Structure 1
Amino acid sequence: MLIDQQDKSRIDAEIRMMDGVAVLTIRNPPVNAGSHAVRKGLADGLAAAVRNGASGAVIVGDGRCFMAGSDLKEFGKKLEWPELPDVIRLVEDAPFPVVAAMHGVALGGGLELALGCDYRLAAPGTMVGLPEVSLGFVPGAGGTQRLPRLTGLVHGIDLICAARRIPADQAATIGLVDRVVEGDLLAGALAFLAGAARPKRLTMALTPPADDPVAIDAAADKALHRGKGRPNVAEAIRLIRRAAEGDGADALADERAVFQRLRVGEDATALRHLFFSERRAAAVDGLDMGLARAVGSVGVIGGGTMGQGIVRCFLAAGLPVTLVERDRDALARAMSGVRGSLDAALEKGRLTPDEAARRKAAVTGATGYDALSGCDLAIEAVFEDMQVKRDVLGRLERVLAPDAILATNTSYLDIDAMAEGLAHRGRVVGLHFFSPADVMPLLEVVRTDMTDNATLATALKLARKLGKQPVVARVAEGFIGNRIYAAYRRRAELLVLDGANPEQVDRAATAFGFAMGPFAVADMSGLDIAWAMRKRQAPTRDPRARYVTIPDTLCEIGRLGRKTGGGWYDYPQGKPVPSEQVAAVIAKARQAAGVVPVGIDDDAIQRQLLAAIVNEAALLLEQGVAQRPSDVDVTLCNGYGFPRWRGGPLWWAAHQDRAAIRDDQARLADAIGYGFVAGPVDRMLDSIVSEHKG
């Protein structure tokens, strides 16, 4: 026994002998991260098993999973012996077969450890995968070599480069898992060893299953395109191809050298920042999460595009939903839309027949609010109009239980004002989903001045149940994301007014790494959404401020984006192409504003778009709209297509030359002119640098 079984505070690996088999239990709650202490415990346990004359060994995880990966906190430092490859070498050198018995998750270093074992068993539902590429580096303990030797190179490239997690039954189908064990996992592993001769079977001694070279090339091209050509993706592909070349020892050394180099590179450092930031964003300092209430049933008011997406999101989380619409015709259309989307998912193989049937049965429709009386939470997704939303919340308060949550999906409106007149304003919270609601990972949880701690805790717990990345915001125009995006979009429009064209701005944005440019995004989401906001703001707009009329004109002539066949671009074959009509609108707007267009290069466009984001972020942080700078990074990366490998806009800015950032801000002030408000950018960036060093 290496440690006292009752000492749950210890991080280690424990060994016990059961009928001549050494059982090594990984214990590092909550997810058994493969820290140095765990690696050392495994090494000591294997040595003890050899001394005790074990006939075999089983490695299992304590608690809720096998091993959820390595300890990322160690990755910015020098790794201590034994590193994971050292532990795997001990597994391979052991004179007896070693079985990995996996449950919960086996990810990253956890799966690499299992790949180094002679056999791999898994409990039903276990998720396995190698997420390293999504963190800016490559697997470093044999993942690129051992996994393809079991699955073939096509599956290897797909799984590793996409950082995909797959369930145990699928892993068994492609050869990654030897057996899925029903019932007690440890008992099943011991029976597996006792039931037949189990010789040593080193994965590195296997030859990868044959794949068509054309299919391998196609998988590599797809992975490189999907990974936007990032260096770690290219290296992962190169290393996976080496698995078919037979020089195993050299390939492992090559992989480890690449891993060691990339894990301290810019991409990996930025992605680790984002990894930890996403976990911090799901918490509020001082909030007692024990106050969270259970949500067992949900009501959704409004069955339009957003409402249907929210319904699908709750159904996917296993929650029954009551959908309310204003009349029978609207309800029939909404219910048909929800069921149709489930049918489409079934046809594409994304849902099993049983799951599709379960979700259909879990959604009911109604035209009266009384049907919501038993719901623990109701969320409105109606038209973005203050009076309409106030009326909905008032009607909900009259039918829901006193402790049920009243949520709004508003994108811009003042939720404090929306809740005025309610008797229980503490149970009102914003749940701002992003379209499509069942796909986009971000969920802004908007805390009003009156939202109580139990409601906030419940909302955060619910976000996790929905599989969403929550970020907490205070009430402000556009909250965190849309407020920053409005400043970004305004700067993009001014760039067009001053001499750029929409396609050039979009090209510069995507070259930086954005998933889409601002004008392509506007066309996709619809120009009328921002137009409604601008019309609402018009009475308070200072006439001395620069204002770009181009998007208003486009809306006035019916160019609302893809849904009308044209917006900033034309869509003759469904693909965006520059529009002569838009060019004429731009020229007329320049003439009316007295602007003589000048050439603007792509680098200047990029830096000005980023300057607008950084300045607005500094302002909203100063005003307490966001809790911390890293929350801004999480918001922009998860909801607005900011490139994850850059860590978010504020992480990026904090690692730029400070003089260049100041120059960018000065140019931003000149371009916006009257009414520009400078945010405390220097102070914000200093705080980011200080926190990182700490």
Structure 2
Amino acid sequence: MNALVTYQVEDNLALIGLARPPVNALGQPLRAAVLEACERAATDMAVKAIVLHGANGLFSAGADISEFGSDASFAAPDLPALLLRLTQLDKPLVAAIGKLALGGGLELALACGYRIGEPGTRVGLPEINLGLLPGAGGTQRLPRLIGAQAALDMMLSGAPAGADSALTLGILDRLSASADSLLDEARAFAHELVANRAPARPAAPFPAPAEGLPEDFLARFRQDNEPRWKSRLAPRLVLSAVEAACLLPLEEGLAREVALFKQAEASSQSQALRHVFFAEREAGRIPGIDGATLLRPIRKVAVIGAGTMGGGIAMNFANVGIPVTLLERQGEVLDRGLTQIRKNYEISVKRGKLTEAKLEQRMALLGGTLDYADLADADLVIEAVFEKMEIKQDVFRTLDRVCKPGAILATNTSSLDVDQIAAVTSRPQDVIGLHFFSPANVMRLLEVVRGRKTTPDVLATTLKMGRIIGKMPVVSGVCFGFIGNRMLEPYSREAHRLVLEGATPAQVDGVLTGLDLNMGVFSMLDLAGVDVNFLVRDSNRAAFAHDDSYCRLGDELYALGRYGQKTGRGFYAYEGRNRQDDYEVVALAERLAGELHIARRPISDQEIHDRCLFMLINEGIQLLDEGIALRASDIDLVWINGYGFPAHLGGPMYYAEQLGLDKVLAGISHFRQALGEYGEMWFQPAPLLERLVAAGKQRIEPL
């Protein structure tokens, strides 16, 4: 038998095990092996039923993503054809779903007449995260199994359902008592089906998937969700496929699904999202670190500072069962911080995302102290105090005295020099930057800043811990602002300068959100705090002392106490969270332009796009050239997960490649000439960009 499957017949059952480690990805070789095994069982008169399972416990995590966009994706037997054939077998086919059935793995299970899971089973159709839709019957069979509304929710969220939820929905017919007993109970289930002369496929619970829903359900669903989908194609194609399930016979619906899948697969959005998928896996590959690198144990964590950031950081560790001690200087501040953490968890309870028992369990892992001596047994200490070098250095001098040898000392700085912080300790090799993004218990990005003396085991340990707490860790070298905030500076600079030259904050933000960024520059600054941005910029005035006129608008707003949403006034005026244009800001920009002798003129949306995005891209290329970022794709991950750059554009570096590096360089060169002294000063192409274009390269990579 093919080495990719195991095959044995016992007691009138054919047991077919998927055996393509690590996750039984359904590439063409495994598809062919499954088809061969099922055909063999179908023609064996001694076989009365078939049990399909994961030979090593895990069922299948889905299709082989490396095949997408290539001929292999639909190489015979393609997955739709394989699964159609399975539905035609005249013997009961039981899917024993261990651990995971995701994407094509769940579609494989849906093609079986019966399904049994174990308590840890998770099932889902996450294709939406790759800009795709289920393309092997999922959009047609799932609605007929659980109804159109529940199927839409699962496919559009991409989130997996746990075993109990899958049983309640009707995706699973049964649950085994344990993972160890799954295969035995699947055998018993198959014998029961044979004894009861059950049909190979039971009748669909929802032959008309939209039955019971309002007549205009699908049209209203589209109307309600269009604004949230923005320019994303995949959600619209999923809805079209489910509409086909509701309106067409199964055979025609399956044909419609394949056509829609191929449209999604060929789209630039799916190509970008597949780039992001592989970028996430590549981000963990760090020169000098491999499987032999010994990790330091992290059993207890301490966080210095119980404010919004410190509390959010602490929650990440409590969420995964790691005890955390929060340190503050004043008891009332500490109490307030712990109370806010409880309130955050209570919000999750009200939303049904957390049980009361889990809330209490997590709070029990959180302790507070006013005494540094209580941190003596911490394995990882994360400082989250005010963003000022002197304050952070004082904290690290104290940590150096009280923390045990081998403890990892991390700073949550967003911009300061990690090496300068490490230098005040006697153990700079144990110091690292862990830049969490606010709100720290929600945002996925974690910039891991490797100091000059940070040892490989410290870096490897923090990367592993970042993944454990659900973050996307990306390594950065030391420079002002690291990857994300250093790139934010020229991006934000151009936005400010464009308002001085004649654009409005709303026009600039509108161009950026029109590209599907979550926020424009000015709404982002108002949310983060105009004061926070001023203080960060003020600490780095030396970097642009030759001309800081472009940020005068932000400086003036800071001086006026217009700090953004929290004061009700910033670049915009606010009533609650409702944002309104503010003519006073436009008038202020006009006055400042006059004082600075900046000519005002109408600004086109294209100019806003090119100046903001090309300067963002240019700085990213410079970071790669300096070795601050290891890969262009790492930069993409930072901006997608930390700054709201749309994943379906692939991140700023991937976006630049799609625009054409020659076009980016030409745009920068144009503005260097067109904007006079300002252009000469700021529109300097990164040398790597010039080298890449001169060499005819289409990809951003060191050269």
* 1:56-135 equivalence runs, <5 A: 56-63=49-56, 65-78=58-71, 79-135=74-130
Using the TM superposition, give the Cα deviation of residue 386 of structure 1 relative to its aligned residue in structure 2, in angstroms.
Answer: 0.7
Q: Return the match for 1:678 from 685, 694, 697.
A: 685
Using the TM superposition, give the Cα deviation of residue 216 of structure 1 relative to its aligned residue in structure 2, in angstroms.
Answer: 4.3
Q: How far does the alpha carbon of each residue in 1:341-360 deviate from its partner, in whole angstroms, 9 at most, with x for none?
A: 11221122110122111101
Counterpart Cα distance in 2 of 1:293 and 1:226:
43
Helix, strand or coil at the partner of 1:571: strand
Structure 2 counterpart of 1:167, one-letter code: G
Counterpart Cα distance in 1 of 2:367 and 2:548:
50
Structure 1 counterpart of 2:16, one-letter code: L
Give 2:35's aligned residue. 43
Using the TM superposition, give the Cα deviation of residue 452 of structure 1 relative to its aligned residue in structure 2, in angstroms.
Answer: 0.2
Counterpart Cα distance in 2 of 1:138 and 1:550:
46
Using the TM superposition, give the Cα deviation of residue 543 of structure 1 relative to its aligned residue in structure 2, in angstroms.
Answer: 3.5
Q: How far does the alpha carbon of each residue in 1:618-645 deviate from its partner, in whole angstroms, 9 at most, with x for none?
A: 1111111000111111111111111111
Using the TM superposition, give the Cα deviation of residue 584 of structure 1 relative to its aligned residue in structure 2, in angstroms.
Answer: 2.1
Q: Which moved more, 1:523-532 or 1:291-300?
A: 291-300
Counterpart Cα distance in 1 of 2:102 and 2:334:
43
Instruction: Quickly say closer, same or farther: Cα 1:684–1:564, change in 2 above 3 A.
Output: farther
Give 1:6's aligned residue. none
* 1:586-665 equivalence runs, <5 A: 586-665=589-668
Using the TM superposition, give the Cα deviation of residue 667 of structure 1 relative to its aligned residue in structure 2, in angstroms.
Answer: 3.8
Instruction: Quickly say closer, same or farther: Cα 1:100–1:691, change in 2 above 3 A.
Output: farther
Using the TM superposition, give the Cα deviation of residue 573 of structure 1 relative to its aligned residue in structure 2, in angstroms.
Answer: 4.3
Give 2:23's aligned residue. 31
Q: How far does the alpha carbon of each residue in 1:388-430 deviate from its partner, in whole angstroms, 9 at most, with x for none?
A: 1112122222222211111111000000001113111111111
Give 1:234's aligned residue. 236
Q: How far does the alpha carbon of each residue in 1:583-628 deviate from its partner, in whole angstroms, 9 at most, with x for none?
A: 2211111111112211112122112211011110111111110001
Give 2:162's aligned residue. 167
Helix, strand or coil at the partner of 2:35: helix
Helix, strand or coil at the partner of 2:578: coil
2:132 aligned with 1:137, yes or no?
A: yes
Give 1:188's aligned residue. 185
Using the TM superposition, give the Cα deviation of residue 18 of structure 1 relative to its aligned residue in structure 2, in angstroms.
Answer: 2.9
Structure 1 counterpart of 2:129, one-letter code: S
Give 2:282's aligned residue. 280
* 1:490-501 equivalence runs, <5 A: 490-501=493-504
Q: Return the match for 2:44 from 36, 41, 52.
A: 52
Instruction: Quickly say closer, same or farther: Cα 1:223–1:194, change in 2 above 3 A.
Output: farther
Assess if the C-alpha contact under 8 Å between 1:427 and 1:452 holds in 2.
Answer: yes
Give 1:9's aligned residue. none
Using the TM superposition, give the Cα deviation of residue 221 of structure 1 relative to its aligned residue in structure 2, in angstroms.
Answer: 3.6
Structure 2 counterpart of 1:513, one-letter code: D
Using the TM superposition, give the Cα deviation of residue 437 of structure 1 relative to its aligned residue in structure 2, in angstroms.
Answer: 1.0
Instruction: Quickly say closer, same or farther: Cα 1:185–1:455, change in 2 above 3 A.
Output: same
2:545 aligned with 1:542, yes or no?
A: yes
Give 1:157's aligned residue. 152
| Structure 2 unaligned blocks of 5 or more | none
Assess if the C-alpha contact under 8 Å between 2:692 and 2:700 holds in 1.
Answer: no
Assess if the C-alpha contact under 8 Å between 2:317 and 2:323 holds in 1.
Answer: yes
Structure 1 counterpart of 2:213, one-letter code: D
Counterpart Cα distance in 1 of 2:357 and 2:33:
43
Q: Which moved more, 1:195-204 or 1:325-334?
A: 195-204
Q: How far does the alpha carbon of each residue in 1:427-450 deviate from its partner, in whole angstroms, 9 at most, with x for none?
A: 111111111111111111110000
Counterpart Cα distance in 2 of 1:334 and 1:125:
35
Using the TM superposition, give the Cα deviation of residue 64 of structure 1 relative to its aligned residue in structure 2, in angstroms.
Answer: 5.7
Q: Return the match for 1:561 from 555, 559, 564.
A: 564
Counterpart Cα distance in 2 of 1:13 and 1:226:
43
Counterpart Cα distance in 1 of 2:591 and 2:456:
53
Q: Return the match for 1:460 from 450, 459, 463.
A: 463
2:271 aligned with 1:264, yes or no?
A: no
Assess if the C-alpha contact under 8 Å between 1:103 and 1:122 holds in 2.
Answer: yes
Q: Return the match for 1:291 from 294, 313, 318.
A: 294
Q: Return the match for 1:365 from 355, 364, 368.
A: 368
Using the TM superposition, give the Cα deviation of residue 205 of structure 1 relative to its aligned residue in structure 2, in angstroms.
Answer: 8.6
Structure 2 length normalisation: TM-score? 0.94
Q: How far does the alpha carbon of each residue in 1:449-475 deviate from its partner, in whole angstroms, 9 at most, with x for none?
A: 000010000011111101111110001
Give 2:445's aligned residue. 442
Using the TM superposition, give the Cα deviation of residue 222 of structure 1 relative to its aligned residue in structure 2, in angstroms.
Answer: 4.2
Instruction: Quickly say closer, same or farther: Cα 1:200–1:221, change in 2 above 3 A.
Output: farther
Using the TM superposition, give the Cα deviation of residue 668 of structure 1 relative to its aligned residue in structure 2, in angstroms.
Answer: 4.3
Instruction: Quickly say closer, same or farther: Cα 1:576–1:691, change in 2 above 3 A.
Output: closer
Assess if the C-alpha contact under 8 Å between 1:99 and 1:189 holds in 2.
Answer: yes
State, as a whole percentage, how many aligned pairs show the same letter: 37
Using the TM superposition, give the Cα deviation of residue 151 of structure 1 relative to its aligned residue in structure 2, in angstroms.
Answer: 1.7
Q: Return the match for 1:689 from 695, 698, 703.
A: 698
Q: Which moved more, 1:438-447 or 1:244-253?
A: 244-253
Assess if the C-alpha contact under 8 Å between 2:325 and 2:367 holds in 1.
Answer: yes
Structure 1 counterpart of 2:226, one-letter code: L
Helix, strand or coil at the partner of 1:291: coil
Give 2:252's aligned residue. 250
Instruction: Quickly say closer, same or farther: Cα 1:498–1:171, change in 2 above 3 A.
Output: same
Assess if the C-alpha contact under 8 Å between 2:315 and 2:441 holds in 1.
Answer: yes
Counterpart Cα distance in 2 of 1:31 and 1:689:
33
Counterpart Cα distance in 2 of 1:387 and 1:325:
17
Structure 1 counterpart of 2:364, one-letter code: A
Assess if the C-alpha contact under 8 Å between 1:546 and 1:674 holds in 2.
Answer: no
Q: Which moved more, 1:241-250 or 1:532-541?
A: 532-541
Instruction: Quickly say closer, same or farther: Cα 1:225–1:180, change in 2 above 3 A.
Output: farther
Helix, strand or coil at the partner of 1:467: coil
Structure 1 length normalisation: TM-score? 0.95
Give 1:212's aligned residue. 213
Counterpart Cα distance in 2 of 1:449 and 1:203:
65
Assess if the C-alpha contact under 8 Å between 1:506 and 1:520 holds in 2.
Answer: yes
Assess if the C-alpha contact under 8 Å between 2:436 and 2:446 holds in 1.
Answer: yes
Structure 2 counterpart of 1:164, one-letter code: A
Structure 2 counterpart of 1:673, one-letter code: G
Q: Return the match for 2:10 from 6, 11, 18.
A: 18
Give 1:342's aligned residue. 345
Q: Which moved more, 1:602-611 or 1:507-516?
A: 602-611
Q: Return the match for 1:177 from 163, 172, 176.
A: 172
Aligned residues: 684
Q: Which moved more, 1:421-430 or 1:280-289?
A: 280-289
Helix, strand or coil at the partner of 2:540: helix
* 1:352-431 equivalence runs, <5 A: 352-431=355-434
Give 1:225's aligned residue. 227
Using the TM superposition, give the Cα deviation of residue 98 of structure 1 relative to its aligned residue in structure 2, in angstroms.
Answer: 0.9
Assess if the C-alpha contact under 8 Å between 2:305 and 2:385 holds in 1.
Answer: yes
Using the TM superposition, give the Cα deviation of residue 546 of structure 1 relative to its aligned residue in structure 2, in angstroms.
Answer: 4.5
Helix, strand or coil at the partner of 2:442: coil
